[in-house]
Amino acid sequence: MSKHDSSLSKEQYNLLNAFKKQINKPAPAPEPVAPIEKTTAQEQQEDLDFFRKQMQGVQKMDAGNIAKAVKVTKKKPDAQTLAKRASATGPMQTDDTLLSDTQAMLNPVASQANLSYRIATLQHRVFEDLKAGNLRWFEAVDLHGCTVEDARTAVLQIIQMAKDDNQNVIKIVHGKGPEAILKTHVNSWLRQHRDVLAFVSAPENQGGTGAVLVLLKRAEKNPKFKQ
């Protein structure tokens, strides 16, 4: 339709053309919408809801079915055990140390006597620590109820056990009976043993005059110690 054969006025014709242009013009693309960011609290809640959904039907384990770990403590040997072991398997290798009973017969000690011995080269401070019970002992053996021979075997074996483990302090419980027979023999045997540096009656809280604490040479100082 041309402008000349139209019954429209010029003003109406211009308005119609403007309307046609608006119709033919492509619509602008919508502006992209920014994604909604989740807050930390929302994320935590969603994680919690997911966890609860996954754990549905799961039951808590009964703690009573869990085995408790038990610490195994090393049992201290007694003289009877050492003597039985020696009679069953033969005496432990003890460097062929010979312990005579002559000194015991010639020098008996009283049941309440304090025993004390040290070699001349031992430091005074070390000896005082032994007397005070400040040196931790490795093993203890109780000679109560033993014969003299069983006690001798037990003393030799407890010393050897300490040497094998490179320990240098042991405790020997000899008792203090009326005649102090075992106490007298222990006093004599320890003075003869080449690996004994010192021994003293124990402090009251560790046995008193019924026991002795014995200081031994370290294994590396023993010429027969095998690495």
Q: What is the pLDDT of residues 72-107, one digit of tens each?
A: 444 555 655 655 554 444 444 445 467 888 888 888
- In a domain, residue 103? The reply is no
**Residue 212 phi/psi, 5° resolution?**
-130, 145
Any domain includes 19: no
108 and 176 Cβ atoms separated by less than 8 Å? no
> 146 in a domain, yes or no?
yes
In the DSSP assignment, the letter for residue 79 is: H
pLDDT of res. 89: 46
Supply the CATH number for residue 161's domain: 3.30.1370.110
Which residues have CB under 8 Å from 117's CB, separation 6+?
187, 190, 191, 196, 198, 199, 200
In a domain, 127, yes or no: yes
Does residue 79 lie within any of the structural domains? no
Q: Return phi, psi of residue 76, to 5°.
A: -75, 135
Per the structure, the count of domains in the chain is 1
- Rounded (10°) CA dihedral 8, 9, 10, 11: -110
Tell me whether residue 26 is in a domain. no
Does some domain include residue 37?
no
Query: Which structural domain, as residue segments, surrounds residue 177?
Result: 109-221
What is the value of pTM for the model shown?
Answer: 0.58
User: How far lies 115's CA from each of 98, 108, 176, 198, in Å?
Assistant: 21, 12, 12, 10
Residues of the chain with pLDDT under 70: 1-8, 19, 21-39, 57-97, 219-227
120 occurs within a structural domain: yes
